[in-house]
Amino acid sequence: MQRTLSIVKPDGVARGVIGEVVKRLEANDLKVLAMKMIHMTKAQAEGFYAVHRERPFFHSLTDFMSSGPVVVMVLEGENAIPRYRELMGATDFKAAAEGTIRRDFATDIEKNIVHGSDSAETAAIEIGYFFNAFEINPR
């Protein structure tokens, strides 16, 4: 069993696909253990994406991620990390496989609807960035 962090990004919230994303997670045996809507400050978005601080898109990405509310979730399931990334699709929606969340809803390489952790190590760090132990509900 693995846990992973999911975010419905500001574009996903604005476009009204929170429910569609959650529906796909639940249909694929990814259980939601925690969920909340937050609006990150620029500094909080910079902290979350600190690994990307040297990348050319860092400023734009953190502006985008702090531009509106997001829905953050902790998911759990067998191989949850790679399976959720498969449901999301490639970072660039143009390269994402048919039927993936990004292929179906993203409009831009940056505005790509969802985030998902990329390893067990980053999942633990990312979950701890948004949730404390009392907010995560084993089931």
For the chain, helix (H) and strand (E) counts, in that order, are 7, 4
CB of 137 to ligand IDP, least distance (A): 26
Residue 90 Cα distances to 10, 29, 31, 76, angstroms: 18, 21, 22, 21
20 is a contact residue toward ligand IDP (CB under 6 A): no
Give the chain's radius of gyration (CA, Å).
14
Maximum pairwise Cα distance, the chain: 41
67 is a contact residue toward ligand IDP (CB under 6 A): no
Rounded to whole angstroms, how far apart are CA atoms 24 and 45? 26
Rounded to whole angstroms, how far apart are CA atoms 43 and 137? 28
Q: Mask: binding to ligand IDP, 77-106, rule CB under 6 A, as x and -? A: --------------x---------------
The one-letter code for the residue type at 63 is D
Per partner kind, with CB cut-offs from 5 to 8 A, the member of Mg ion, ligand IDP, none near residue 129 is none
Nearest to ligand IDP of 91, 137 (CB atom): 91
125 is a contact residue toward ligand IDP (CB under 6 A): no
Nearest to ligand IDP of 121, 134 (CB atom): 121
Per partner kind, with CB cut-offs from 5 to 8 A, the member of ligand IDP, Mg ion, none near residue 57 is ligand IDP
Rounded to whole angstroms, how far apart are CA atoms 13 and 45? 16
Nearest to ligand IDP of 83, 115 (CB atom): 115
Interface ranges with ligand IDP (CB under 6 A): 52, 57, 61, 91, 109-110, 112, 115, 118
